[in-house]
């Protein structure tokens, strides 16, 4: 069927992230979604192991990269978008609300001269905007709540929702990051669940609930009927109460202050300083720690 893309997930165990190559088998055109740049916070080392794995797969399949897409500025891993752009020449893209996240975090990092206009990406998608992967039609849904800038990419019958929904046994995204909102998240989820029942849902993380193998594909029907944060809580207020109670128990992601300075800059690492080394900037006492 013309609207059924081939979707291949690449699981990155260090951060529980799932990266995707979504392809039109007819034309061989593909998009890369939410690629990971390897980063070890203990040593400060970076690598391109995951991105090169994706590139090797694409080369083996004979695909041509048409898009490099991020669903939002990630708080738990670095984006490999800039690296992949340098290797493929394909344009990078994200939702246009990234400028709101940039303006928020440039203040946190005390970067008065940082260009908070989204110009680091080749394309900023508006809500509802249409594009294609090969001959497969695609469009963008605005899905805030987890972050101010989260979007869902719907490519044919496949929806890439990243953190907005997890697998049904794992629930939904947290909404307590700067700019997050559980009420807004609920409404974004309802928009996703209004897609056709058979729409394939691809999540951006899986934490192997109960020790099971990593999984990242479900359907709208499965999410509506079995998601542990949704199926027994049919109202917005019920969902928000559960979501906010859960969020109060969660520590901040260990890489949030590391990752946001990279990811609001489209995956670009800091420029080398006079000694040739790159440095991250970590604001102290910006976020509250659960002292337990």
Above 60 in pLDDT, residue 1? no
* pLDDT of 200: 98
* pLDDT of 121: 98
**Does residue 107 sit within a domain?**
yes
pTM higher than the cut 0.75: yes
**Does residue 288 sit within a domain?**
no
Enclosing domain of residue 69: 6-263
Q: How many CB atoms lie within 10 A of CB 252?
A: 17
Query: For residue range 171-216, what is the model confidence (pLDDT) as tens digits?
Result: 999 999 888 999 999 999 999 999 999 999 999 999 988 899 999 9
Q: How many residues does the chain have?
A: 292
CA distance 47 to 107: 28
Question: How does residue 3 score in pLDDT terms, banded at 50, 70 and 90?
Answer: confident
The two three-digit tokens of residue 117, written as one number = 């206009």
Query: For residue range 37-60, what is the model confidence (pLDDT) as tens digits?
Result: 999 999 999 999 999 999 999 999
How many angstroms from the chain centroid is the CA of residue 214?
17
Cα dihedral sign, 71-74-80-85: positive
Question: How does residue 287 score in pLDDT terms, banded at 50, 70 and 90?
Answer: confident
CA distance 141 to 152: 5
* pLDDT of 190: 96
b/e 190-214 (16+ beta carbons within 10 angstroms → b)? eebbebeeebbbbbbbbeeeeeeeb
Strand arrangement, sheet containing 78-79: 45-47, 36-40, 78-79
**Does residue 274 sit within a domain?**
no
The two three-digit tokens of residue 18, written as one number = 């799932």
Query: For residue range 128-137, what is the model confidence (pLDDT) as tens digits?
Result: 999 999 999 9
**Does residue 163 sit within a domain?**
yes
Mean pLDDT in residue range 21-28: 98
Above 90 in pLDDT, residue 233? no
* Segment (H or E) for 237: helix 236-247
The two three-digit tokens of residue 25, written as one number = 């088998």
CATH number for the domain including 197? 3.60.15.10
* pLDDT of 289: 72
Task: Tell me phi and psi for residue 239, to 5 degrees.
Answer: -60, -45
Query: For residue range 239-275, what is the model confidence (pLDDT) as tens digits?
Result: 999 999 999 998 889 999 999 999 999 999 999 999 9
Mean pLDDT in residue range 72-100: 97
**Does residue 134 sit within a domain?**
yes
Please give the radius of gyration of the chain, using alpha carbons only, rounded to the nearest integer.
18
Question: How does residue 88 score in pLDDT terms, banded at 50, 70 and 90?
Answer: very high
**Does residue 285 sit within a domain?**
no
Domain count, the chain: 1
CA distance 288 to 292: 12
**Does residue 167 sit within a domain?**
yes
* pLDDT of 62: 98
**Does residue 291 sit within a domain?**
no
């Amino acid at each position: 069927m013309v609207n059924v893309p081939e979707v291949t997930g690449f699981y990155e165990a260090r951060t529980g992230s799932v990266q995707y190559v979504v392809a039109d088998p007819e034309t061989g055109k593909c998009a890369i979604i939410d690629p990971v740049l390897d980063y070890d916070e203990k040593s400060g080392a970076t690598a391109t192991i995951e991105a090169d794995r994706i590139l090797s797969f694409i080369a083996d399949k004979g695909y041509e990269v048409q898009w490099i897409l991020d669903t939002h500025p990630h708080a738990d891993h670095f984006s490999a978008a800039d690296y992949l752009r340098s290797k493929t020449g394909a344009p990078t893209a994200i939702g246009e609300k990234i400028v709101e996240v940039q303006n928020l975090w440039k203040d946190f990092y005390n970067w008065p001269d940082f260009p908070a206009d989204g110009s680091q990406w080749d394309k900023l998608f508006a809500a509802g905007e249409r594009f294609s992967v090969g001959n497969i039609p695609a469009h963008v849904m605005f899905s805030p709540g987890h972050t101010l800038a989260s979007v869902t990419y719907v490519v044919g019958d496949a929806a890439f929702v990243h953190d907005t929904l997890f697998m049904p046994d794992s629930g939904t995204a947290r909404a307590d990051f700067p700019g997050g909102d559980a009420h807004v998240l609920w409404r974004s989820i309802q928009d996703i669940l209004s897609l056709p029942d058979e729409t394939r849902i691809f999540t951006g993380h899986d934490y192997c609930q109960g020790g099971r193998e990593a999984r990242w594909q479900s359907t709208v029907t499965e999410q509506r009927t079995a998601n542990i944060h949704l199926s027994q809580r049919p109202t917005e207020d019920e969902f928000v109460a559960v979501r906010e109670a859960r969020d109060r128990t969660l520590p901040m992601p260990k890489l949030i202050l590391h990752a946001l300075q990279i990811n609001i800059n489209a995956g670009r690492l800091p420029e080398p300083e006079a000694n040739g080394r790159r440095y991250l900037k970590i604001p102290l006492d910006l976020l509250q720690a659960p002292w337990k």
